[in-house]
């Protein structure tokens, strides 16, 4: 029991220490900003990893949920004068409701069929955001009202570093608890064999729907946070390429690994910044690095390294 | 529930894969406290019948009742909650999960305080599982996996235990061990057992009653010992 408790807390504590430690090594605001982007992406990736890595269901439409969260904090304050935090909450609730309605029919599908259906859903959301220009500013995007808390205007890359880092720690903590709960066990069971899960008494459809809704809410909260950090939203964060990027982060970092989600997000956010020096070759080098990582660390960065070090210790 | 009602009653049950019907109206019953064996050859429809009883295979006709209540339309998890547990063909343990997690999944629908003591009971029956309870279930041998699958089913506290070819792929010593355990569960824990087997000898030896299924239909029924002694059964299924 003691071991279980420490295990549930281990990952969020490691992430919290990392957030604190890195803050001492930040040479400029630019670095704070990049790190905040890593925390925010990692939050969305943790959610998607619950769905993909634990329950074994793919979603190529998660950027749609991300977009709903982002546009909620843009549109609701502008149109109805809602406080941005209330708007973010409304976005999360709307996301949960939409995920619930869409998830019921879609999650009956498996494998490639599920992939294409979620892809279609994501495209639908992105198109809606682009087309309803009167509300969303269309393809050009729209500004987001600055966040004010108790009369204090939240500003500065370092402030957002701490806020998004805090959200990431909370997100990781919730995810670790979910994974260690009976629901988490049920998800891993249905991932392995749906029939065996059914005869063990697991309501497979409901378990899938639950994790789909939870993972959608992670994306929505991450979207809201990013919109507030940037002070601006554009439809590209809701579109298909961003969905692919999130899936890539999950696989690269490691399916079924919360720390892996952070590693995957860090690589895909930081590397492009590092590689800008290579100009025309930037994308080629990025692609090459991704391929090499997957070939060498086929289970993803964190699980592969963990297995490697475990193997050495056991020798 | 009438006192005369059997625990499980299967009536004129039909089931099909697409257009091909695999069960053409199967009727049988299992009374509380019995060990009932269903024997039959390859492709006779044994697995299909068990899956229809546990609810993971749709039925196209007939009816199922458990403790006198119709369960034909109940979901698989509702049937588990009612007291039916299946040990599926080929065991189907959750290989990447720890052995103890596999067992806890068997108790997924339970919220009572006795889960821990039931876990101990399973470890009592299968000490090897306790020794290795933190290891992934995929590392167990075939016989150990069969024991884990039985243990997982027991964790739901079933009134009726459905077993699909528990002897499949096991060495003769292990087959004896598994059948001994089944008898013990029936005797000591009062679990009613419905057992499906190609190994007719082992199954009928421990069965109170037995049925023979041939191409989706019940061909014979009787006391376990009587079927063992029957000429046709001996010829077709015991190779004597
Ligand atoms: N998934 C499936 N799709 C189509 N037909 C199937 C399927 N599963 C079984 N069948 C057919 O249904 C019939 C009954 O099969 P079933 O698996 O119930 O037999 P069984 O008695 O369990 O056989 P065995 O002893 O080999 O396990 C067979 O003719 C089989 O070919
Ligand atoms: Mg079979």
pLDDT digits (tens, 9 = 90+) for A146-202: 998 887 888 889 999 999 999 999 999 999 999 999 999 999 999 999 999 999 999
Q: Which residues of A touch B75 (CB under 8 A)?
A: 203
Short-list A23, A273, A276, A263, CA closest to A158: A23
What per-residue confidence (pLDDT) applies to A154? 82
Mean pLDDT of chain B: 94
**Stretch A262-287: mean pLDDT:** 91
Please report the pLDDT score of residue A149 as a whole number: 85
Cα B164 to ligand 2 centre (Å): 7
Tell whether the model's pLDDT for residue A2 goes beyond 50. Answer: no
Note the pLDDT of residue A206.
96
pLDDT for the residue numbered B240: 60
To the nearest whole number, what is the mean pLDDT of chain A? 94
Condensed to tens digits (0 to 9), the pLDDT of residues B31-41 reads 999 999 999 99
| Chain A touched by B121 (CB under 8 Å) | no
Q: Is the pLDDT of residue A144 over 90?
A: yes
- Ligand with the closest atom to the CA of B198: 1
Residue A142 pLDDT > 50, yes or no?
Answer: yes
DSSP alpha helices (H): ranges in chain A? Answer: 2-23, 29-49, 62-80, 84-106, 111-131, 133-136, 157-180, 182-192, 194-199, 204-230, 240-253, 258-275, 282-296, 301-314
Q: How many CB pairs under 8 A join A and B?
A: 62
| A114 has a chain B CB within 8 A of its CB | no
pLDDT reported for residue B237: 79
pLDDT at B73 over 50: yes
List residues bridging with A147 in a β-sheet.
Answer: none
pLDDT, position A148: 85
Q: What's the full length of chain A, in residues?
A: 315
- Given a cut of 60, is residue A1 above it in pLDDT? no
Tell me what the mean pLDDT of segment A259-270 comes to.
Answer: 97
Q: How far does the CA of residue B228 sit from the closest CA of chain A (Å)?
A: 31
What is the value of ipTM here, to two decimals?
Answer: 0.87
The pLDDT score that the predictor gives to residue A188 is: 96
Residue B44 has pLDDT above 80, yes or no: yes
**pLDDT, position B2:** 56
Q: Give the pLDDT confidence of B120-157 residue by residue, as tens digits.
A: 999 999 999 999 999 999 999 999 999 999 999 999 99
Give domain B8-238's CATH superfamily.
P-loop containing nucleotide triphosphate hydrolases (3.40.50.300)
């Amino acid at each position: 029991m003691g071991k279980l408790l420490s295990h549930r807390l281990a990952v969020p504590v490691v992430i919290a220490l990392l957030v604190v430690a890195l803050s001492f090594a930040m040479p400029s605001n630019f670095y704070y900003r990049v790190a905040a982007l890593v925390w925010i992406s990692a939050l969305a990736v943790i959610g998607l990893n619950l769905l993909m890595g634990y329950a074994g269901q793919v979603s190529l439409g998660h950027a749609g949920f991300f977009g709903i969260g982002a546009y909620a904090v843009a549109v609701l304050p502008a149109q109805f004068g809602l406080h941005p935090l209330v708007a973010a909450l409304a976005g999360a609730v709307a996301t949960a409701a939409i995920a619930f309605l869409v998830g019921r029919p879609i999650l009956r599908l498996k494998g490639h069929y599920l992939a294409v259906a979620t892809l279609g859903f994501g495209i639908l959301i992105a198109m809606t955001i682009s087309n309803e220009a009167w509300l969303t500013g269309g393809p050009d995007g729209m500004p987001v009202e600055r966040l004010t808390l108790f009369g204090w205007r939240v500003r500065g890359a370092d402030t957002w570093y701490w806020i998004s880092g805090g959200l990431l720690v909370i997100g990781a903590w919730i995810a670790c608890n979910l994974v260690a709960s009976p629901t988490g066990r049920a998800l891993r069971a249905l991932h392995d064999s749906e029939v065996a899960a059914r005869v063990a008494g697991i309501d497979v459809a409901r378990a899938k729907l639950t994790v789909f809704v939870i993972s959608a809410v992670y994306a929505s909260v991450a979207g809201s946070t990013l919109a507030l950090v940037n002070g601006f939203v554009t439809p590209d964060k809701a579109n298909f390429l961003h969905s692919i990027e999130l899936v890539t982060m999950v696989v690269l970092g490691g399916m079924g690994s919360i720390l892996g989600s952070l590693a995957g997000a860090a690589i895909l956010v930081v590397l492009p910044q590092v590689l800008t020096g290579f100009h025309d070759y930037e994308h080629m080098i990025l692609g090459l690095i991704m391929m090499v990582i997957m070939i060498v660390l086929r289970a993803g960065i964190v699980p592969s390294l963990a297995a490697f070090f475990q193997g050495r210790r056991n020798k | 529930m009438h006192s005369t009602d059997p625990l499980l009653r299967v009536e004129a049950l039909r089931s099909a894969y697409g257009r091909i019907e695999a069960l053409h109206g199967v009727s049988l019953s299992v009374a509380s406290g019995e060990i009932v064996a269903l024997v039959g050859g390859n492709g006779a429809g044994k697995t299909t019948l068990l899956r229809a009883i546990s609810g993971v295979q749709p039925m196209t006709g007939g009816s199922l009742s458990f403790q006198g209540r119709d369960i034909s339309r109940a979901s698989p998890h509702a049937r588990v909650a009612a007291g039916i547990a299946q040990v599926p063909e080929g065991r189907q343990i959750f290989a990447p999960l720890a052995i103890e997690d596999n067992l806890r999944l068997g108790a997924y629908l339970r919220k009572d305080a006795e889960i821990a003591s039931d876990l101990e009971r399973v470890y009592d029956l299968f000490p090897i599982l306790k020794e290795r309870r933190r290891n992934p279930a995929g590392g167990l041998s075939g016989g150990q996996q069969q024991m884990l699958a039985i243990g997982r089913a027991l964790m739901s506290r079933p009134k009726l235990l459905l077993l699909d070819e528990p002897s499949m792929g096991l060495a003769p010593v292990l087959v004896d061990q598994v059948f001994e355990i089944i008898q013990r569960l029936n005797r000591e824990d009062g679990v009613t057992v419905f057992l499906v087997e190609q190994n007719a000898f082992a199954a009928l030896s421990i069965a109170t009653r037995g049925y023979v299924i041939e191409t989706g239909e019940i061909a014979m029924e009787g006391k376990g010992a009587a079927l063992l002694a029957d000429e046709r059964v001996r010829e077709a299924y015991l190779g004597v």
